[in-house]
Structure 1
Amino acid sequence: MRAGLSTAAVLASLLIATLVVVPAGAGKPVTPATPPNIDISQRHTNESEEAIAVNPTNPRNIVMVSNVDFPAAGMLEGVSFDGGQTWTTKLIGNNDNLGDACCDPSLSFDNYGNLFLAYLFNVEDTLPIALSTDGGLSFNVIAKIPGIAKRNGKGADEKGLFRFVDQPTITAAEGEVWAVVNVGGPMGAFGAPVTGLGQVGAVSTSEVIPGTNNCTYGDVAIGPGGKVMNVCTLTESGQGGGKLFVSVDPDGLGPAGFGSRVFVAETHVGGFDFIPPQPDRSVDAEPGLAWDRTGGPHNGRVYLVYTLEQKNESDNTDIFVRFSDDSGASWSAPVRVNDDGTVNSQFLPKISLDPTTGRIAVVWYDSRNDLGTGGAGDTDGLPNDDAQFWGAFSD
């Protein structure tokens, strides 16, 4: 189960969609007008681990899926066809045709309007993949991916600290869809060709990514020419010592397979790292990828966002972005995204890339305004235990 904010995070889900489409200004990042918060769920309990996707064939079609509080079965889904102003909501995966869903939803639209959903079952140790062809109004399971199906012959370990399928991420691009998941130790990856709306080919046998034993909390991205990149976090302990590694399959659905892992950065953030604004749920480094396929000046550039704790167990966590112009073989120096002068916590970032301009947007939770002295960023008179939602945008 992915670490996530334990408050009603579906409010933030809508904000993500709104922020990503705000155009960036020239010369320096801009601060757009704050959009109104809309309570999508209208529930009295908390939601977490939310995912959101915007339909490129109809950008006013936005879909959100999140966890609901245990013991409620299933996940909450919200669908909007007016840019997020109004929403239709329902529980899915509550022993319906999607089965008995637990958590960890991941969503991605492709260029045909197919919407792919990966999630976890409550009991069954497989990864279900569901497809919607009507903008999220209905889903059908098209694949169930088991744990490790084969070794790829490159020395990947078969078992590690994890003994169950966990941490799925799915992404779609022109002509293919890919998912990665911890398959009970190492990371597994699988893909399928897509030729049109509802036209999804057979899902490939899960390939174990070399050097990823006990590496999780990651992301997957598809680059030009069908290249595929996985990023994951190797956590030495729950409270720190994290390292980020990337692995690349140079031909995606072709026969090459993933190569050896490449070290990118230390994070000092463990798999379950407790900080004051997340005292119960904890955080991880939450690395995320965005690969430029626009054909523009930075075509082929891949961006990586992550959380860095400046000193282990200091709670001074910041959000950083690096980029690579050689498919992950080497990486730029890190750039800090949050511009505050405090030692308060920033955490759980997400990154998105405009598919037409190549501009990037990063969003995260930010405790900079919680100095324990009251005001908009403080609810209880204690410092660094409340968080607001922030975003930054490239030129």
Structure 2
Amino acid sequence: MRKARLVALTLQFCLSIPLLAADPRAASQQSKKDPGSPAGAPGAAGGGVGTGGAPYPLYPTDRFRDSFSGIIQQMRFNMWGGDRIGSAAAPAGVEGTALGPEGGGDVRANQDASTARQNEHSIDLNPRNRDNVLGSANDYRNGDSGAGFYASLDGGQTFVDGLVPEPTYHVQGDPAVCFDADGIAYYSFISFNRSDSRNGLFVGRSNDGGRSWPQVVALENDTNGADTEDKSYIACDTTNSTYRNNVYVTWTKFPASGTQKILFRRSTDGGKTWGTAKRVDDGGLSIGQGSMPAVGPNGEVYVAWEATTVNGSQVRFDKSTDGGQTFGPDKVVSSVNEPPPLNGVPRDPTFPAMDVDISSGSHRGTIYIVWQDYRNGDSDILLSRSTNGGSNWYAPLRVNDDPTHNGRDQFFPWVTVDPIGHVTVTWLDRRDDPGNLLFEEWGATSNDGGVSFGANYQIADVQSNPSLDSFIGDYTGVSSSDSRVHPMWVDLRRSQEDAYTDSVRVFGLPDVLDVRVAGASPATISWTSQDPSQGAATSYDVVTGGLLDLRADRDYSRASCLANDLPDTPATDTRANPAAGDGFYYLVRSENGSSVGSYGDASFSPDPRDSLDISPPCP
């Protein structure tokens, strides 16, 4: 076993030492959600920490919500010195609530002072700067729908916003955004007049993270109004394939005669010019709508849409392996039971959303498609996946975990895969309203390639009432990076439609009970010895680092070796207390340990300890 891996043992306790009374407010500002642990509380039965000390309260603001890979499975760090640490069990008197994914608080992205709508959201993260978040929406601040943009350079804490300029027609809709591999932002939308039938399809380009849009190009411009362009979406190739930085747009064309069709265009020069339109769907007796492109790890172009056939609705799929030059025959992903008009939501399309795992993990290349479905008597979120490039599809999996047939609707799903391979689905959810009207944004995350999902978690802080408006859009959006998820949804907490977002850390690990400790130097770090099962040859390293460094780096690159080749537990840290507002974390690693440890089972693929390999080895 590489020593750079996490200890293959069961950790009894992992300590983080905050400086006591680092801020005078802390003593009186304990969060109701985080009761203090008793002085000297052990980390778990049969083990513990030799520091004792009074409990340090969690100040209820300025929390750092993050996941810490390794034995520190789930932690919340507080700027005043409080923290949470993973533990095998919680002692009496210590809060024992399992931690789920945690958000940093809902943020309103639109900054206008109007009471106008913002709905139908898309969101993406800049691969060159993950703090650059870009969202889009139908934005009615000027009276009718415009192409609203919301750009952040601080991870979604603050936004600048506005409308993408499009002088040709009066109304814009169906917004969608993406970043290419070089950080160039693209925005696709339809544009039309309400006074006549003229319309078109346009794409904007931004070189400053989505804060300005000096270039807007027409892909389709129906000046005679004979054809109608609808339901466009966009994808950028961020892989290292031959087609890197290609930009793809799909949409539905309603021609002057004949049936509607799913069309595709691509740009190979950064959105300056666009190739000729190609038909994706096979046509025939099916009618396609609500298409979405996505890109595979080798530059494959995938397209999913809803098809209406004589036998009912289906989710269909097609692909190109030559950068969008040609497409093959359609594949049926699943049948769809379309929901009736939902309470307060008269328009609830079952358009699919899709993303692809382009990570280097064992699920690389897996395609995920989600949609809402009424087969269980109310609207549920279903997911199907393909592990062979879309040739075959697994039976749909129900993602929402509320009781089946309970009469509570889930709708407007979206899906994202982060660079590690975690799959997160978000949607609007009514499980908390007995009247099946009010909704919140919810989510669920899979760490096994979509085979299963963890417990659903609430994202939006408050409920929304869709009956306050007549139209809340047709979809929501979500994007992700490094186990952090950024959803964007329509929110009516202010009795008007706004674009809300959050930054949610998804942990990628089973929930564990947690304990909060405080102590002073010297600190004793104890764990369960593996000698009985592995023999006396088992040895241990202890690596430690600062919580503020971990917050800044989001990795273990600034950790250092505290103890090397220990024959057994415990280890002692004699360093002085950390500075006010900081703390220490510890990673315990072994050689010749068992295959199952506090971080995860090494028989899983990918090995869940791989993310710890960035931590520095001991000599």
- TM-score tier by shorter-chain length is 0.7 to 0.9
Q: Identity, % of aligned pairs? A: 23
**Is residue 295–residue 301 contact of structure 2 (8 Å, CA) maintained in 1?**
yes
Aligned mates of 2:263, 2:352 — CA distance in 1? 17
Kept after mapping to 1: 8 A contact 2:230/2:253: yes
Shift of 1:131: 0.7
CA contact (8 A) 1:65 1:76 kept: yes
From 372, 376, 388, give the equivalent of 1:326: 388
Give the corresponding residue for 2:264.
Answer: 189
Amino acid at match of 1:283: D
**Which residue does the alignment assign to 1:215?**
288
Pick aligned residue for 1:104 from 171, 174, 181: 174
Contact kept, 8 Å, 1:48 with 1:68, in 2: the verdict is yes
Deviation at 1:328, TM superposition (A): 0.8
Q: 1:303, 1:324 within 8 Å by CA — same for their partners in 2?
A: yes
Question: One-letter code of the match for 1:219?
Answer: M
SS, match of residue 281 in structure 2: coil
| 1:122 CA drift (Å) | 2.1
Q: CA deviation at 1:121?
A: 0.7
Separation (CA, whole Å) in 2 of partners of 1:146 and 1:290: 26
Is structure 2 residue 434 aligned with structure 1 residue 360?
no
Equivalent residue letter for 1:244: V
Give the number of aligned pairs.
333
Q: Please give the per-residue CA displacement for 1:84-138, whole angstroms capped at 9, x wherever unaligned.
A: 111112233364xx86441111100111001110001123432111111110111
Report the equivalent of 1:166: 230
1:362 shift after superposition? 0.7
Asked if the contact 1:117–1:130 (Cα under 8 Å) also holds between the matched residues in 2, the reply is yes
1:394 correspondence with 2:457: no
Q: How does 1:371-382 map to 2 (within 5 A)?
A: 371=434
Q: Are 1:93 and 1:100, in contact at CA under 8 Å, matched by a contact in 2?
A: no
Q: Aligned residue for 2:332?
A: 263
Partner residue in 2 for 1:7: none
Q: Which residue number corresponds to residue 600 of structure 2?
A: none
Which of 379, 388, 400 aligns to 1:317? It is 379
Who is 1:288 aligned against? 353
Determine if the alignment matches structure 1 residue 180 to structure 2 residue 253: no
Question: Which SS does the other structure have where 1:274 is aligned?
Answer: coil
Q: Give 1:23 deviation, angstroms.
A: 5.5
| Unaligned 5+ runs, structure 1 | 1-20, 149-161, 372-382
> Aligned residue for 2:119?
48
Q: Unmatched 5+ residue regions in structure 2?
A: 1-64, 74-97, 239-243, 255-259, 448-619
Once residues 183 and 387 of structure 1 are traced to their aligned partners in structure 2, the CA distance between those partners, rounded to angstroms, is 33
What pairs up with 1:224-263 in 2 under 5 angstroms?
Answer: 224-235=297-308, 241-253=312-324, 255=325, 257-263=326-332
How far 1:268 sits from its partner (Å)? 1.5
Q: Would you say 1:144 and 2:218 are equivalent positions?
A: yes
The structure having more radius of gyration, on CA atoms, is 2
Equivalence for 1:87: 159
> TM-score, normalization: structure 2?
0.50
The 5 Å alignment of 1:3-22 reads none
Equivalent-residue separation in structure 2 for 1:100 and 1:147 (angstroms):
14
Q: Which amino acid aligns with 1:103?
A: G
Residues 221 and 291 in structure 1, CA contact (< 8 A), matched pair in contact too? yes
Residue type of the alignment partner of 1:338: N
Aligned to 1:350: 414
CA distance in 2, matches of 1:392, 1:30: 14
Asked whether the 8 Å contact 2:334–2:396 carries over to 1, the reply is no
Asked whether 1:116 is paired with 2:203, we answer no
Partner Cα distance (1:140, 1:99) in 2: 17
Relative distance call for 1:22 and 1:328 in structure 2 (3 A) is farther
Q: Which amino acid aligns with 1:67?
A: N
**Contact kept? 1:234, 1:242, Cα under 8 Å:** yes
The answer for the alignment partner of 1:18 in structure 2 is none
State whether residues 300 and 325 of structure 1, in contact with CA within 8 Å, keep that contact through their aligned partners in structure 2: yes
Alpha-carbon distance in 2 for matches of 1:147, 1:325: 38
Determine if contact 1:277/1:345 at 8 Å carries over to the other structure. no
One-letter amino acid of the structure 2 residue matched with residue 347 of structure 1: F
> Which AA in structure 1 matches 2:130?
P
Aligned partner of 2:265: which letter?
Answer: F
Q: CA deviation at 1:215?
A: 0.4
Distance (Å, rounded) in 2 between the aligned partners of 1:190 and 1:92: 21
Correspondence for 1:127: 201
Deviation at 1:173, TM superposition (A): 1.4
- Counterpart residue type for residue 278 of structure 1: V
CA distance in 2, matches of 1:65, 1:201: 21
Pairing 1:23-38 to 2, within 5 Å after superposition: 31-38=100-107
Question: Pairwise CA RMSD of aligned residues?
Answer: 2.8
2:369 to 304, 319, 324: 304
Alpha carbons 1:318, 1:338 under 8 Å: kept: yes
Change in Cα spacing, 1:205 to 1:322, as seen in structure 2 (3 Å) is same
The Cα shift of 1:389 comes to 0.6
Q: Is the 8 A contact 2:293 2:303 kept in 1?
A: yes
Q: Secondary structure at the match of 1:225?
A: coil
**What is the distance in 2 between the residues matched to 1:50 and 1:295?**
29
| Alignment-mate amino acid for residue 226 of structure 1 | G
Q: Which amino acid aligns with 2:204?
A: A
Q: Is contact 2:361–2:420 with CA below 8 Å preserved after alignment?
A: yes
Contact 1:63 1:135 in 2 (8 A): yes
Judged with a 3 Å threshold, the aligned counterparts in structure 2 of structure 1 residues 114 and 391 are, in CA distance, closer, same or farther, namely: same
Larger relative contact order (CA 8 Å, sep ≥ 6): 2
